[in-house]
Amino acid sequence: MIWSKEETLPRHELEKIQTKRLKETVERVCAHVSFYQNKFKELGITPNDINSIEDITKLPFTKKKDLRDNYPFGLFAVKQDAVIRIHSSSGTTGKPTVVGYTKSDMDIWGEVMARVFTMAGVNSHDTVHNAYGYGLFTGGLGVHNGAETVGATVVPSGGGFTSRQLLLMKDFGATVLTSTPSFALHMVETALAEGYDLQKDFKLKCGIFGAEPTSKGLKEEVARVWGIKYYEVYGLSEIIGPGVSNSCDESDDLHIFEDHFYPEIINSTTGEVLPFGEKGELVITSLTKQALPILRYRTGDITALDRTPCKCGRTHVRMKSIMGRVDDMLIVNGVNVFPSQIEHVLSNIEGITLNYQIIADKKGYLDKLEVMVEVTEDMPLDSIGALEKIKKTIQHELLNNLYINADIKLVEPRSIERSVGKAIRVIDKRSL
């Protein structure tokens, strides 16, 4: 199913819309946002220099630091009385990034999230159990808005209280689960410990998961244990929240809704725009946002773009699942590695789960990497021979595939601390 005709437009028609909306956005920020006014002066350009979507490379980049430097409302392009919703990041690494929405922005958010749910086959006959966090985080309310737009029944459970969530999912007959993939696996652990039969007690047909980089192996595990179709949603609060892109039935890649969000891939060091198919940092320009229009926002997410036509009929460009982040890439003794790459290696090894933690430290002048992994319920920790075999297998596969040496620590099931939001996969002690 397809929600709106814009998702299937021929490329030349889509580019006309993109050009028109880009010009409107540039004129808006130059008229109302001093940050961009100053940037344009520095670059020696005016809105008259933007005449096609290809001219987007003339525009300045925007970084998360720019939002923090203009905290709280310095990048807003409308007056306060036009803003009907405010969200923000947690601010754990500095001042929070603040985002605002007009009525038009909220309508667009509902529209793109309706596309997401329609991709997953969700409609008014479904009940959506929404386990994303509500509040300042955009996940819960963004998903909620889209589910209501397609007419589905929404259970706004939020994060945490896992036992209660399982009870509600069973008793209310939820057919769709929305959450982070790590929390979906945590729910499985709790359900099995409490005696639920995942296939008999629940009516789930699909899940829409996102908010954290996830390997193919973890996705397959979530789909397998719940017995559902796995759909991946991508978004970020600075652009709108969840709803920038989503996977369809025909591809694991995610269609970006290009009539609202224009994507580029750049070399994160040089800023050079890379061709389709090459891996790099995702940059997004919002084309229809009113309260907080953003030009060429450097997301920090590593992916690649593909314009190959999709069998589902949608013409919008697809992005690969996020492979990692520019700022969470680990450099271990000169080797670049992302947590998702380690996760992919672990997903192919029997006897362990995908609950793991990576600890980077120093031993003298050298980097030291420890990977702590939970074993499966049926793996006895006193089986020394079996455990040593698993350890050696993990070490061999990490060295063979990623060229990294790591100490492996196998631990009991459910002994690694869980999170109701994004999983904490990496602890880097080298800078402490």
CATH code: domain of residue 35: 3.40.50.12780
What digits encode the pLDDT tens for the residues 310-365? 999 999 999 999 988 887 778 787 777 888 889 989 999 999 999 999 999 988 86
As a whole number of angstroms, the distance between CA 169 and CA 144 comes to 16
Q: How many domains does the chain have?
A: 2
**What's the pLDDT at 93?**
45
Q: At what angle do helices 384-402 and 339-346 cross, to 10 degrees?
A: 130
Q: Using the predicted structure, report yes or no on whether residue 396 has a pLDDT greater than 80.
A: yes
What digits encode the pLDDT tens for the residues 164-176? 999 999 999 999 9
Task: Write down which residue in 267, 294, 325 finishes a domain.
Answer: 325
Same domain, 173 and 285: yes
Same domain, 129 and 263: yes
Q: What is the mean pLDDT of residues 117-121?
A: 98
What digits encode the pLDDT tens for the residues 12-35? 999 999 999 999 999 999 999 999
Which residue do the tokens 């392009």 mark? 77
Tokens of 246: 């989503």
Tokens of 418: 């869980």
Same domain, 200 and 342: no
340 or 155, greater pLDDT: 155
Same domain, 379 and 245: no
Q: Pick from 200, 213, 373, 260: which is nearest to 3 by CA?
A: 260
pLDDT band at 159 (very low <50, low <70, confident <90, very high): confident
**What's the pLDDT at 420?**
64
Q: What is the mean pLDDT of residues 298-317?
A: 96
Q: Where in the sequence is the domain holding 153, given as residue range(s)?
A: 1-325
Counting Cα atoms < 13 Å in the Cβ hemisphere of 408 gives: 22
**What's the pLDDT at 92?**
40
Same domain, 423 and 308: no
For residues 381-399, one letter each, b for 16 or more C-beta atoms within 10 angstroms of the residue's C-beta and e for the rest, the string is eeeeeebeebbebbbebbe
Same domain, 373 and 387: yes
Angstrom distances, CA of residue 207 to CA of 37, 80, 183, 224:
43, 37, 12, 12
What digits encode the pLDDT tens for the residues 181-216? 989 998 999 999 999 999 999 999 999 999 887 888
Q: Using the predicted structure, report yes or no on whether residue 403 has a pLDDT greater than 50.
A: yes
Same domain, 97 and 198: yes
Q: Identify the bridge partners of residue 245 per DSSP, sorted by sequence position.
A: 234, 256
Q: What is the mean pLDDT of residues 283-304?
A: 97
First CA to last CA distance, the chain? 50
Same domain, 344 and 296: no
**What's the pLDDT at 395?**
96
Same domain, 86 and 4: yes
Give yes or no for a contact between 241 and 87, defined as CB atoms under 8 angstroms apart: yes
What digits encode the pLDDT tens for the residues 228-243? 999 999 999 999 999 9
Task: Write down which residue in 277, 309, 325 finishes a domain.
Answer: 325
Which H or E run includes 43? helix 34-43
User: What CATH number is given to the structural domain containing 424?
Assistant: 3.30.300.30
Same domain, 276 and 370: no
Same domain, 7 and 93: yes
pLDDT band at 100 (very low <50, low <70, confident <90, very high): very high
**What's the pLDDT at 341?**
86
Same domain, 415 and 379: yes
pLDDT band at 41 (very low <50, low <70, confident <90, very high): very high
**What's the pLDDT at 212?**
82
